[in-house]
């Protein structure tokens, strides 16, 4: 069976294999953060960390290219952790086990974490590759992308200097996107008053199932049903027609 180190370009896949051994769920990026800082120290690269936990590793410009523009390469440290129901995986201690099947890299019983482990691995390979001749390269590694983008949202002015910014969290190899899918969180408070259940009432449980999941950015244009919006429409109509009382939602 082929291993990751036999894939090309080998340095990227070797680093990705190392990253797979590091637990790194959202809001629990301490171990991958230490790995990155140790990497910078080992290769004598400048590094720094901000209050949000984001990491910046800097590679000086190649000789003769000091006047080239600084380029920022960005990925995120965290990953989505899902596993098969029968797979005994501890996300805080256990490594991901990658393997190659039918031309793809997959993981045994869990999500692979290529989002965005492969982006991190690409940055590390570039940072130490002497064949890459370029101006200064700043590699930015943000935290908590998958559950709120709080790392990116809490970046402070001056943490990096580059004005050319390349995000390494895309879906398709060999394609460059000008722009990105955004995200926003809304926190709302709605006052309500509890009242007794009307006499003669009977209870019903309404379940909405069978909808398709999808990426809120990449697949937003496909018109998939949103269970929250659909359920609210149902409850609104029932309230107008029958004056229902809502017990739980």
* Residue tagged 């940072």 (tokens): 127
Separation between Cα atoms, residue 10 and residue 79, nearest integer Å? 22
pLDDT at 212: 87
* 145 is known as an active-site residue: yes
Paired tokens of 126: 């570039």
List 78, 116, 138, 144, catalytic entry: 78
pLDDT at 35: 99
pLDDT at 112: 97
pLDDT at 173: 81
pLDDT at 179: 74
Q: What superfamily does domain 4-167 belong to in CATH?
A: Zn peptidases (3.40.630.10)
Considering the chain, tell me which residue range(s) the CATH 3.40.630.10 domain(s) occupy. Answer: 4-167
List 50, 86, 145, 219, catalytic entry: 145
Secondary structure (DSSP) of 77-139: S-B---B-TT----TTTPPP-EEEETTEEEESSB---HHHHHHHHHHHHHHT-TT---S-EEE
* 78 is known as an active-site residue: yes
pLDDT at 181: 65
- Each of the 249 residues of the chain gets a pLDDT tens digit; together they read 688 989 999 999 999 999 999 999 999 999 999 999 999 999 999 999 999 999 999 999 999 999 999 999 999 999 999 999 899 999 999 999 999 999 899 999 999 999 999 999 999 999 999 999 999 999 999 999 999 899 999 999 999 999 999 999 987 888 888 876 666 778 899 898 999 999 999 999 999 999 988 877 778 889 899 999 999 999 999 999 999 999 988
In order of 23, 83, 96, the CA distances from 115 in angstroms are: 14, 15, 13
């Amino acid at each position: 069976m082929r291993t990751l180190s036999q894939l090309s370009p080998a340095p990227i896949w070797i680093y990705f294999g190392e990253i797979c051994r590091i637990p790194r769920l959202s809001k629990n990026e301490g171990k991958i953060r230490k790995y990155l800082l140790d990497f910078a120290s080992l290769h004598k690269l400048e590094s720094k960390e901000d209050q949000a936990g984001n990491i910046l590793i800097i590679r000086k410009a190649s000789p003769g290219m000091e006047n080239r523009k600084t380029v920022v390469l960005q990925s995120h440290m965290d990953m989505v952790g899902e596993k098969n129901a029968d797979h005994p995986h501890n996300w805080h201690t256990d490594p991901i086990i990658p393997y190659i099947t039918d031309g793809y890299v997959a993981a045994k019983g869990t999500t692979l974490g290529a989002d965005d482990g492969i982006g991190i691995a690409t940055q590390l390979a570039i940072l130490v590759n002497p064949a890459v001749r370029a101006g200064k390269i700043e590699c930015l590694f943000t935290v908590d992308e998958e559950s709120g983008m709080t790392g990116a949202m809490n970046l402070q002015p001056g943490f990096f200097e580059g004005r050319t910014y390349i995000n390494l969290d895309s879906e398709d190899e060999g394609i460059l996107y000008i722009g990105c899918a955004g995200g926003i969180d809304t926190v709302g408070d709605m006052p309500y008053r509890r009242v007794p259940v009307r006499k003669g009432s009977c209870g019903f449980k309404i379940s909405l199932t069978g909808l398709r999941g999808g990426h809120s950015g990449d697949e937003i244009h496909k018109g998939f049903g949103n269970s929250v919006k659909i359920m609210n429409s149902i409850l609104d109509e029932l309230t107008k027609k029958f004056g229902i009382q809502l017990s739980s939602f």
